Amino acid sequence: MKKIMIIAFVLAFTGLSYAQTEQDAVKYAETITEDELYDKLSILASDAMEGRETGERGQKMAAAFISDHFQRLGLKAPVKSGTENSYYQPVFLYSAVPGDTYIIAGEEKHKNFDKIIYYGSSSSGAVKETEVLFAGKGSEQDFAQLDVKDKAVIVMVDNPRAWKAPHDLALEKGASLTLIVSHKDDAKFTEYGQLFKGFLEGGRLSLEKPDMGGSDPGVFFIAPSVAAQILDVKKQRLQDAMEKGNLKKIKKGTFKYHMEQKIKEVESENVLGYMEGSDLKDELVVITAHYDHIGKNGEQINNGADDDGSGTSAVLEIAEAFVQAKADGKGPRRSILFMTVTGEEKGLLGSAYYTSNPIFPLEKTVVDLNIDMIGRIDHKHKENPEYVYLVGSDRLSTELHEISEKVNETYTKLELDYTYNDEDHPDRIYYRSDHWNFAKNNIPIIFYFNGVHDDYHQPTDTIDKIAFDMLMERTKLVYHTAWVLANRDQKPVVDKPQSQNLGNN
Ligand SMILES: [Zn+2]
């Protein structure tokens, strides 16, 4: 009798407290509004932020905006920086950018990006002089006529994108360098060169210093007049020899070249705001979104309103809701880290840096809820826009998936679309945003995503196209999921751990 009474009492009590916390969760969810999301996104996606290019001024401004928000909310700055604490976790990035690179043909010196373009990551050291053969289209038959060992080769292609196969074949035959004639006239080539210049000078950012001593020397793209100059023939004769395949008609030439790559260092930062939990404060719930984007194309700004201004605004709003709850004595039992990360667009660099240099132990990190693009409606859901794609919820923890489903059933009632969660889906979304860096450490994750749209990575990804009602609903779903995960007795069980070191997708 006694025993039963105690159980009844416990049931009644936990039932009551559960109902209470449910009510509380709903109360603070009401602080997540379309207007407030709009206010935040209108700043993040404004032209003033210049597309939030990683390491550039606009990204720094966005970081300042986010950390200021965290500070005003009273979140803790969790990163030790000397004797101070900071909201910023510095992330050092590197890229290789072209240095002093040129070709000397005859007496004339051609500098990079005029009539020549170097595409590769080698440095030649001193100026080199080499013999060069004309290898036509660079086919097997062409190479069969020639002994290219330790010589450079000139190859003509129809289309600049077709450079790789002849280059690989040239290297296989022992050639030391490939020169690609990619256009029929110089003017077209120069135009192309200017496009390429912007791309190459941006460099490709990475967490590691680029390796300059690779075995591939790279390729020079050259204008047709430069090829004629090097081989000391008329352009038309090259064209004829290529078409007829009688390459021996063209005598070998010589030229000098120099290539140099410089390492550019870029400092960026993850922005972290921390809320300490109560009785389970050693355990951590992480909520992430990337706040950087792809900057500008010339004068056109890629505002990145959906990607990922939407997710960043959501994180800020969720933080606000939890702060209000805590102020009323309804703070979470587990601690929560609100983290907007950098370098996502460059290869998930900020989150990779965090999980390699965690501020809080990964063993105590119970989940990462990651948001990237939740403000739009894709073609598939035009008629029924109350949806969100979920990816990864069941990959490591069946329980997490069940919690997520239950939360949605209870509070938000969205259609949870698992299309992209299919392991065989060609888009491989599970590996393509920041949650992956947590998942590969066997931390269960859920990824929230609206699917792709025509404005993806375009200057047209602007705030006027955001469906704020859906942005709000999806933000609430993440918030409620975080609430339950931060307050329930047990953390979600990892019943399907993956073997470690799965690599970077
Ligand atoms: Zn994104």
pLDDT tens track for 175-212: 999 999 988 889 989 888 887 787 777 677 889 887 77
pLDDT per residue as tens digits for the range 119-149 = 888 888 899 999 999 999 999 999 999 999 9
pLDDT at residue 1 is higher than 50? no
Q: Does domain 25-94+268-487 have CATH number 1.10.1760.20?
A: no
Q: Report CA 208 to chain centroid distance, whole Å.
A: 16
Mean pLDDT calculated for residue range 83-99:
92
Give the pLDDT confidence score for residue 136 in this predicted structure. 93
CA separation, residue 30 to residues 81, 275, 321, 480 (Å): 36, 20, 8, 11
Q: Are strands 387-391 and 300-301 parallel, antiparallel or unpaired?
A: unpaired
Please list the residues that pair with 131 across neighbouring strands.
254
**Distance in Å, CA 76 to ligand 1 centroid:** 26
Q: How far is residue 433's CA from residue 264's CA, in Å, rounded to a whole number? A: 25
**Residue 75 three-state SS:** coil
| pLDDT confidence of residue 197 | 80
- What is the 294 CA–ligand 1 centroid distance (Å)? 10
CA distance 468 to 314: 11
pLDDT at 367 over 70: yes
Which residue in 291, 376, 370, 275 sits closest to 327, CA to CA?
Answer: 275
CB 290 within 8 Å of CB 345: yes
Q: Quote the ligand 1 centre to 267 CA distance (angstroms).
A: 20
What pLDDT is stored for residue 239 in this prediction? Answer: 87
Rounded distance between C-alpha atoms, residue 1 and residue 228, angstroms = 102
CA pair distance 471, 319, nearest whole angstrom: 15
**Sole residue written with tokens 């720094």:** 60
Q: How far apart are alpha carbons 373 and 303 in whole angstroms?
A: 13
The distance from CA 363 to its chain's CA centroid, rounded to whole angstroms, is 25
Choose among 230, 259, 298: nearest CA to 112. 259
Residue 4 has pLDDT above 90, yes or no: no
The structure tokens listed for 125 are 């050291």
**pLDDT tier at 505 (50, 70, 90 boundaries)?**
very low
Q: How far is the CA of 95 from the centre of ligand 1 (A)?
A: 21
Q: What is the DSSP letter of 112?
A: B
Residues facing residue 263 across a β-bridge: 96
d(CA 367, CA 352): 16
pLDDT at 155 over 80: yes
Q: What is the pLDDT of residue 361?
A: 98
Cα of 262 to ligand 1 centre, how many Å?
29
> Is residue 17 very low, low, confident or very high in pLDDT (cuts 50, 70, 90)?
low
CATH class of 100-259: alpha beta
Q: Comparing C-alpha atoms, which of 236, 256, 259 is closest to residue 105?
A: 256
Largest CA distance in the chain: 107
Predicted confidence at residue 19, as pLDDT, reads 64
Q: Residue 318: CB partners within 8 Å, gap ≥ 6?
A: 32, 287, 338, 475, 478, 479, 482
376 alpha carbon to ligand 1 midpoint, in Å? 13
- Using pLDDT thresholds of 50, 70 and 90, give the confidence band for residue 341: very high
DSSP 8-state symbol, 409: I
Q: In angstroms, what is the span from residue 457 Cα to ligand 1's centroid?
A: 9
Task: Using the mean position of ligand 1's atoms as its centre, give its distance from the Cα of residue 13 in Å.
Answer: 44
As a 3-state breakdown, the chain gives helix, strand, coil percent values, each rounded to 5, of 40, 25, 35
Q: Looking at residue 191, what is its pLDDT? A: 86
Alpha carbon of 344 to ligand 1 centroid (Å): 7
Where does the pLDDT of residue 503 fall: very low under 50, low under 70, confident under 90, or very high at 90 and above? very low
In which band, very low, low, confident or very high, does the pLDDT at 216 lie, cut at 50, 70 and 90?
confident
Is pLDDT above 60 for 162?
yes
CA 263 to centroid of ligand 1, rounded, Å: 26
**Which among 286, 371, 398 has a CA at the least distance from the CA of 334?**
286
**pLDDT tens-digit readout, 405-441:** 999 999 999 999 999 999 999 999 999 999 999 999 9
CA of 455 to the centre of ligand 1 (A): 12
Greater confidence (253 vs 246) lies with 253
Q: Are 25-94+268-487 and 100-259 in the same CATH fold?
A: no
Best CA proximity match to 229, nearest among 177, 171, 181, 163: 181
The proportion of the chain whose per-residue pLDDT surpasses 70, expressed as a percent, equals 94
Cα 481 to Cα 138, 275, 500: the distances in Å are 58, 16, 27
pLDDT band at residue 52 using 50, 70 and 90 as cut-offs: very high
Q: pLDDT-based confidence at 501, cuts 50/70/90?
A: very low
- How far is the CA of 241 from the CAs of 136, 155, 489, in angstroms? 7, 11, 78
Distance 375 CA to ligand 1 centre (A): 12
Tokens of residue 473, six digits: 């609903």
Residue 122: what pLDDT? Answer: 85
What pLDDT, on the 0 to 100 scale, is given for residue 99?
A: 87
Task: Identify the sign of the CA torsion 474, 475, 477, 478.
Answer: positive
**Domains in the chain: boundaries:** 25-94+268-487, 100-259
Centre of ligand 1 from the C-alpha of residue 345, in Å: 6
Residue 468 CA to ligand 1 center (angstroms) comes to 18
Confidence check: pLDDT of 34 > 90: yes
Structure tokens at 354: 């965090």
Give 47's pLDDT tier (boundaries 50, 70, 90). Answer: very high
pLDDT of residue 121: 81
Instruction: Using the mean position of ligand 1's atoms as its centre, give its distance from the Cα of residue 431 in Å.
Output: 12
Average predicted confidence (pLDDT) for the chain: 92
What's the CA-to-centroid distance between 410 and ligand 1, angstroms? 28
Distance 270 CA to ligand 1 centre (A): 15
C-beta separation of 306 from 375 below 8 A: yes
Q: What proportion of the chain, given as a percentage, has pLDDT over 90?
A: 76
Express each pLDDT in 439-458 by its tens digit: 999 999 999 999 999 999 99
Ligand 1 centre to CA of 369 (Å) is: 14
